[in-house]
Each structure stands twice: as C-alpha cells, then as structure tokens.
Structure 1
Amino acid sequence: MADPKQVARNHWFRNDDLPGVAGPERDLVGYGATPPRVRWKDGAKVAVNIVINYEEGSEKTFAMGDGMNDGMYELPFDVDDQRDLAKESMYEYGSRAGIWRMFRMADRLGVPLTVFGAAVALERNPAVAERIVERGDDLVSHGYRWIDHYEYSREEEREVIGLAMESFRSNWGLEPVGWYCREMSVNTRELLVEDGRFLYDSDYYGDDLPFWTKVAGKDHLVVPYSLVTNDCRYIMGTGFGSPSDFVDTAKRTLDQLLDDGDDCGRMMSIGIHPRITGNPARLNGLAEFVRYALDTPGATFMTRTDIARSFAEQVPAPS
C-alpha cells in the first residue's frame, strides 16, 4: 500500500485538484466582487434565519446500539465502553425543556423558525413534531438520525434519505424541500438531486448568499449555513464563554452585513440546539439579539425555505 505521506509529497507542486476525485468540484471564486443585488421581505437588505437543530434522541448512543456515545457535551469527558447517562440526560434536557423554551420565545417575539429536524428525534417526541406543524415552522430534513453521512456507502445513504422523507410524510404530512445533514459525503448532493424532491441543500459554509450549482446536468440551489453564529461554539473548542459573547458576535455580524461596502443584500444564519441554547441564560442571550435585530432597519427574519424561494425568484437558475 502506498504511503499516504509520500503520495501527498508527490503532489505538493499541483495547482489544481486531481481529475476524477469523487464529489463536487471546489469553487474558490464564487460571486467575487459582483454578487447579485437581492432584497428580502419588505425590501430588507439582510435576511436573518434562526435554525433549531432538533436532534435529541437520534444521536449515537449505546442505548441505540451504536457502541459509542455522541461527542457534543458540556464538559470534555468521554465514557468509551458503556452508556454515558450524564451525556444522555443533557440531550434529554433539549427535548424535555429547551425546545419548549425556544418555542415560547419565538411566539413572544413573533419570529419565524426553521427546524433542521432529524426524523427519529421527532418520532421519539411526537409533541414537538405536532407543535412544529401547528406553528407552521419551516422543516428542513436533517436526515433520519443525527449521523455522519460520510460513514455510509452510496446505497446506504440513499436509503437513509428515503427513510427520513417517508417519516416526515407519513407521520406529520410534511414534505421538506431543504436538506442539511450532520456531515455530508461526496455523494450527498448527487443523491439529493437524483431524489428530485429537494429545492436546495445547506451543507455548505462558504458564502453569505445562496448560489446555483450544476449537479448531474441539473440546476441545484445551495443555501449556505454558518458555524460562526452557532451555539456549538459554547461547548466545542475555543468559542463562546457566555451569552454575551454570542450576542456580541451576532450583533457585529448583522451590523457588518448591513454595511458591507456595497449595495448587495445577504443572509445571516443562526444555528441553535435545544440542549444548548435551550438553557435559560443562553436563550436569554438569543432573545436579546432577536430584539436588537427587530429594531434594526434593513433586517428581517425569514425561514430558510422562504429565503431559497425568494432568491430563486430574483436570481433564476442559469438554465
């Protein structure tokens, strides 16, 4: 077997990607200096999208036969060879308490929500799914379970996508047109286009505006997401130490997008999790930013699917 380090050394002189590598081609250019001039609801320059990642109960656990405990936890402790009941209870906080606190905030402040929903998580807490339907929230498929899609074969991933969509349809009468998985594979986007039910995916972090791409000869929309204004930074690596850190980052993000040196509109994604931002202090910080954005001229709150459709109307697919 070839030594991977030697292979890497042999390619140090390349100035392009290898031909035939699986997955989408890299695009390092994007819109460049001339992004399209878009406007959102009520002529706003920045569309703010709040995304609840509802995954609790679908994460990897010994209880579900995965032989491991998921890693996103408040403290840097790992239990390797048995159930981690402490970690499981953190996730349960999200489904028992955190998600309801989020719904109450959104109701009180009158802002729309997008839910990246894992099908199994909603199956295991039907009351949450029923509330999403009742509120009319924007459901984006977060897969069947909260798993890394790159761990599965193309056929297995195709099956997982189908299982998720069938669950949403048969249990709740919902047919998402958007997709975001935990970690996409080189096959994910091709499978979504092959499936035919998806207007867009959000498995991308490389822009502040949606953009069209070509997959298997078909136009497909990408609506980027963000890991910057995202509450995973409370518990992973060097990130937010307090809700004030989140509020400051979110405010500065919005202020910059509103005055970004040109006349182009942009979008701002805020990613939150019931087990993380559902805790009182962090939800209080989110509410503080929402009030700030509501009082800021040029900003509006929209769902992700409304952003996708509005963009597609203003910037039609090339073909």
Structure 2
Amino acid sequence: MSSRREFMKQGGVLGLAGLVGSNLTASAQESKTVNNNNTSKWADGSRLVVSVSMQFEAGGQPDNAESPFPQNMQKGFIDLPGATWFQYGYKEGIPRMLDNWDKLGIKVTSHMVGSAVLKNPALAKEIVERGHEAAAHGMNWATEYTMPYEQEKQFIKDGADAIKKVTGFTPIGYNANWLRRGENTLKILQELGFVYHIDDLSRDEPFIIPVNQKDFVVVPYTIRNNDIVLIEGKNFSTDQFLNQVKMDFDQLYAEAEFKRRQMSISFHDRIGGTPQMVKATTELIKYIQQHKEVSFKRKDEIAGMAIADKTTIRER
C-alpha cells in the first residue's frame, strides 16, 4: 500500500480487532507457568523483539495543555496557537506515520485517548484497519491516580468503550496518563478484562504479575527512547535521538544472545509525526531491520507470547 490516500479509496482492509483480545483473555485465565531466567530466545525464534508505540492523544487534551509555547497564558484565555500544535497530530502526524509504517512493513500499538478517538473517529478506525493495535489510554488527560475506585473504573471503561465503538477493536492493553496509575488501577484493569499494561520501566522484557489472583502481563514501556521526553522535553535534535536509540538497540541486541530482551520505542502524534522525525524513524527502523532475528511486534502479541511461554519471568 503506497499511500494513505490509496488506502482510503480502497477501504475494506481487515484489522485484528477482537480476535486477539478474546484469545489472550482466555489464555490469561488458563496460564500456569513457571520462571526460568536462562532462556534467551523468544518462543517464535526471535533474538530481540522491538515494540513501537504511537500515541493518539491530540484532540483529547484540555485547554491550554502543555505545549512548546511559554506557559504564561493569562487566566480566562485560550492558547490558540498551542491548540494548533496538537491539531498537527491528527491532521499530519498520524497520517504520515501510518504511511511510513506501511513502507517499513511493521505494525505498532496505538495508545488512544477516548476523547481523541471520538473527535477523529475515521482516523482511529483507519489505524486499526491498517493492522495496528488499539490500546486504551484513558478517556481524557485527567489525573487518574487521584480518582476514587468507582470513578477511575468508569474513566477507564469510558475510554475503552469509545475505542470499541469507533474501531470495533476491543482494547486489552492500557497506558495511564504519564504512566501515573493509582493503587487501584491494575485491579480495575483485571476486572474490566484487560490483559496487560505498560506503565512500568523496571525491565527490558515482559513479565507476569498476580492481580486479583490471576495472571496479568507487564509489557515494559520506555522514557529513554521516547520522543516526548527527548525531543520535546530535552530539545534533542533528530540526530541525537537517532544515535541514542541506535545505541540502545546495539546494547540490547548484544545482551539478547544470552538473555531475552525487548526494546521499546515511543512516538507521539504531534512530535513523532513531523517530517524530520519520520525521516529519522525510517533510518532507525531500516538499521534495526538489517540485523538477524529481530522482529517487530504489537504489544498485544508480546503479551500473548508472555502468557503462553512457561519461561516468562514471574514476580510475586
């Protein structure tokens, strides 16, 4: 598929909605595995698995959300230029990234804010129809960890329901705003049928934890290979970003000869979808693809492999 416009004309491309979610939920309940840290290869023979995230947040942000502009708006006024920075994410950023994923031949996980999905339903649906995973990312940018149990449960459910309604895909993965989940978040996710979350930076491979006396998968996220942290937060150039992520890959690839390794890379709609970042991303992915036994997987696929593999690390 050469371009997004051609895709829109053709239509009818089948996504993977629902199928993965139902299968993984069943596997999570049936899994009775043990820990074995001596295994390096993944079950499918991969030496290293790379997981790419594409955050779909633009359109769901509150008024005067943090942007590259000085945070000095006077009370009672709206930062109109700042709003256009976010609009870039769904007008240009995600469409450009979608075309690039097709050219590179990889599938990603898109963490979708519910209100952003409702504002741009055609784009959210297109992401799924082009073979990418839709994961939940809350209903909006509210501070989740301060919410009482029932309020947080409704907040998470509303965001997931918005994704399901628009795309037909049942999300089984979750990402809290800035990873800041609360004490009840994992219990709620298990109750709602989620299979994994990503709000954990503690390992470079997936692992299983008990939640409500059932298996729940952690598919680790990243802030070290993350455009909002490096490009927006630290003003890295694309060269710096590219070099840092390449070095991260080189080290993990070397370690993967003896230990199971997962590499995560994260892009945000209004940042990772800019022309220079897409150009840098192309160079990065092609570099990674030159290495043997490296596979790119959606996070629901990684969670499924973790559940099915008896050598997956378990934490109690």
Give the TM bin, normalised by the shorter chain. Answer: 0.7 to 0.9
Conserved? CA contact 1:258–1:298, under 8 Å: no
From 48, 62, 68, the equivalent of 1:46 is 48
Q: Indicate the percent of aligned positions where both proteins have the same amino acid.
A: 29
Give the match for residue 206 of structure 2: 210
Give the match for residue 188 of structure 1: 185
Q: Which amino acid aligns with 1:145?
A: N
Give the match for residue 219 of structure 1: 215
Aligned-pair CA distance for 1:141? 0.7
Q: Which amino acid aligns with 1:259?
A: A
Q: Which amino acid aligns with 2:287?
A: Y
Secondary structure of the 1:39 match is coil
Secondary structure of the 2:223 match is coil
Q: C-alpha separation between the residues in 1 aligned to 2:105 and 2:147? A: 40
Give the match for residue 259 of structure 2: 264
Q: C-alpha separation between the residues in 2 aligned to 1:260 and 1:75? A: 41
Write the mapping of 1:1-319 to structure 2, written as runs, cut at 5 A: 35=37, 37-40=39-42, 43-61=45-63, 69-71=64-66, 73-81=67-75, 82-182=77-177, 183-195=180-192, 197-237=193-233, 239-260=234-255, 263-315=258-310
Secondary structure of the 2:255 match is coil
Conserved? CA contact 1:213–1:222, under 8 Å: yes
Secondary structure of the 1:308 match is helix
Aligned-pair CA distance for 1:60? 1.6
Conserved? CA contact 2:37–2:311, under 8 Å: no
Aligned-pair CA distance for 1:220? 1.3
Secondary structure of the 2:220 match is coil
The CA RMSD measured in Å over matched residues stands at 2.0
Bigger Rg, structure 1 or 2: 1
Classify 1:253/1:194 alpha carbon distance in 2 versus 1 (closer, same or farther; 3 Å).
Answer: same
Classify 1:212/1:151 alpha carbon distance in 2 versus 1 (closer, same or farther; 3 Å).
Answer: same
Instruction: Provide Cα deviations, 1:144-193, integer angstroms capped at 9, x if missing partner.
Output: 11332113222210111111222222222110111111121121111111
Conserved? CA contact 1:99–1:278, under 8 Å: yes
Classify 1:95/1:36 alpha carbon distance in 2 versus 1 (closer, same or farther; 3 Å).
Answer: farther
Question: Aligned residues, how many?
Answer: 276
Secondary structure of the 2:263 match is strand
Q: C-alpha separation between the residues in 2 aligned to 1:286 and 1:224? A: 21
Classify 1:120/1:51 alpha carbon distance in 2 versus 1 (closer, same or farther; 3 Å).
Answer: same
Q: C-alpha separation between the residues in 1 aligned to 2:146 and 2:80? A: 25
Conserved? CA contact 1:56–1:121, under 8 Å: yes
Q: C-alpha separation between the residues in 2 aligned to 1:107 and 1:100? A: 11
Instruction: Provide Cα deviations, 1:182-240, integer angstroms capped at 9, x if missing partner.
Output: 12112111111122x11111111111111111123222111110000000124554x35
Conserved? CA contact 2:228–2:267, under 8 Å: yes
Q: Taking CA–CA contacts closer than 8 Å with sequence separation of 6 or more, which of the two structures ends up with the larger relative contact order? A: 2
- Runs of 4+ in structure 1 off by over 4 angstroms are 316-319
Conserved? CA contact 1:75–1:235, under 8 Å: no
User: Once structures 1 and 2 are overlaid, which stretch shifts more, 251-260 or 210-219?
Assistant: 210-219
Classify 1:35/1:99 alpha carbon distance in 2 versus 1 (closer, same or farther; 3 Å).
Answer: same
Q: C-alpha separation between the residues in 1 aligned to 2:277 and 2:99? A: 14
